[in-house]
Structure 1
Amino acid sequence: MSCWLCCLLVVSLCLPVDAIGQDGTDKPKSGEKEVKKPADDAAIEQVKGYIAAQTKAGKINKKVPTWKTRLPKFPDVKFTPSKNYSWNLKTNKGNISIKLLPKTAPKHCANFLYLTELGFFDSLKFHRVITGFMAQGGCPLGNGTGNPGFRFSGEYDSNVRHTKGGLLSMANAGQGTDGSQFFITFKATPWLDGKHTIFGEVTEGMETVRALENSGSPRGTPREPLSIEKAWITVN
């Protein structure tokens, strides 16, 4: 099997599509702050309203231990064209800020606004980190086989390609299986174009991305625990 095909398979989730379930920390560097998301952004307020309604209806119940695998699908979100939306991660290796690309992948960006507002990513780990390739996380089960309870199709733009490191892209087990698992590239990965949706780009914290890579391995098993301590959205 050629090297590029092995890498492609590694990004995909571990189990076949029909087998996917439905249902000593380093502190941030000096000067890094968690900026709270503004309460007056229309997209954020829309997501918060949807979560409140779904919670009231009993479809979201965070008291259930497995709530991260039993979520209803994200709502359609109207992003403000003049604003920039960033997905921020506080990891045990430092902070990362990623500019989302709602014009390119509005559904994927809406999904991450929704999951982040729920606190879905908090305390999840990077379960697969392949040196020279990518860091993968976002699995609610922590082993690469889980999803949030829903799946959806990819969004592809021929002008947005896996041309460099620091790109946020969606992991999947084939067409129509995007959920919550994502990966951040360490270098250009052109063989993934048209198969994995790019929906963000690192704007701050590439040193943290490199720290994640340095704790990875050729086979993907991290050499030490790598986790997301907190995720949040900023808008400006």
Structure 2
Amino acid sequence: MALLAGGAMAQSGGQSGDWRTVAPENLWVIDTAKGRILVELEPRAAPNHVERIRTLTNQGFYDGLKFHRVIPNFMAQTGDPQGTGAGGSELPDLKGEFTFRRGRDSGFAPVENSGPGLRGIMGSIPVVTQPDAQMFVTADFKTSAQGLFCPGVAGMARAGSPDSANSQFYLMMGQNDNLNGAYTVFGRVVQGLDVVSALKA
């Protein structure tokens, strides 16, 4: 796995024909036996988790690790040097970043306004958030938001404690609302979702 110095294109959350360039520092390349996966990291949603991914990638920690847990139509998980799901890096565990503060400059594109919260896209990740009008009554002029677990989302795996994420992560193949607000979303696949779906343990 590597952080790519070049750029890539990702579809914007707005109109279907809108494309934008992914910032090179946020483009994560995962090469597998099935093909290449490009993930756009989203430091605004999970700065500490994104920094951990960058650090471990630059150290070569993920090189040669297999996807040890693959559940069809759900997710594919890797990041354990033991290959059992019990291992991690020597770095300290991370505090969960299940929610984040979203400002007006976040580039949020609303998609749906049904149920609790406003759903849309920020960068490439799907989020649910309070409406912008709520920003006028908060001290920091921001609203609360959280990532949503649907196909292509990159999330950080953890043990039972909410603050136990370390090195393991998973790429979603399907939607799972039970993970929303309980696990950290740190990015989303912008190319290679077909590769994710083809992964085997």
* TM-score where L is the length of structure 1: 0.55
Distance 1:153 1:211 in 2: 31
Q: Is the 8 A contact 1:139 1:146 kept in 2?
A: yes
Q: Is the 8 A contact 2:76 2:170 kept in 1?
A: yes
**How much identity, in percent, do the aligned residues show?**
36
Tell me, yes or no, if structure 1 residue 37 matches structure 2 residue 5. Answer: yes
Tell me, yes or no, if structure 1 residue 110 matches structure 2 residue 51. Answer: yes
Distance 1:163 1:97 in 2: 17
For residues 6-41 of structure 1, the C-alpha deviation after alignment (integer angstroms, 9 at most, x for no partner) is xxxxxxxxxxxxxxxxxxxxxxxxxxxx88527xxx
The structure with higher relative contact order (CA 8 Å, sep 6+) is 1
Tell me, yes or no, if structure 1 residue 206 matches structure 2 residue 193. Answer: yes
Runs of 4+ in 1 over 4 A off after TM superposition: none
1:1-236 to structure 2, matched below 5 A, reads 36-37=4-5, 83-84=23-24, 85-149=26-90, 150-157=92-99, 159-173=145-159, 174-212=161-199, 215=200, 222=201
For residues 148-197 of structure 1, the C-alpha deviation after alignment (integer angstroms, 9 at most, x for no partner) is 12211110225333342000001001221110000111111110112110
Q: Size of the alignment, in residue pairs?
A: 138
Q: Is the 8 A contact 2:30 2:38 kept in 1?
A: yes
Q: Is the 8 A contact 2:68 2:77 kept in 1?
A: yes
Distance 1:36 1:97 in 2: 9
Distance 1:35 1:118 in 2: 11
**Shift in alpha-carbon separation, 1:191–1:117, aligned structure 2, 3 A:** same
Distance 2:151 2:87 in 1: 25
More helix per residue? 1
Distance 2:182 2:83 in 1: 23
**Shift in alpha-carbon separation, 1:35–1:176, aligned structure 2, 3 A:** closer
For residues 112-158 of structure 1, the C-alpha deviation after alignment (integer angstroms, 9 at most, x for no partner) is 11000000000001000001210010012111001112211110225
In structure 2, stretches of 5+ residues that fail to align are: 7-21, 100-128, 130-144
Q: Is the 8 A contact 2:4 2:27 kept in 1?
A: no
Q: Is the 8 A contact 1:164 1:185 kept in 2?
A: yes
Distance 2:78 2:189 in 1: 15
Q: Is the 8 A contact 1:101 1:109 kept in 2?
A: yes
SS state at 1:126 partner: coil
In structure 1, stretches of 5+ residues that fail to align are: 1-33, 39-81, 216-221, 223-236
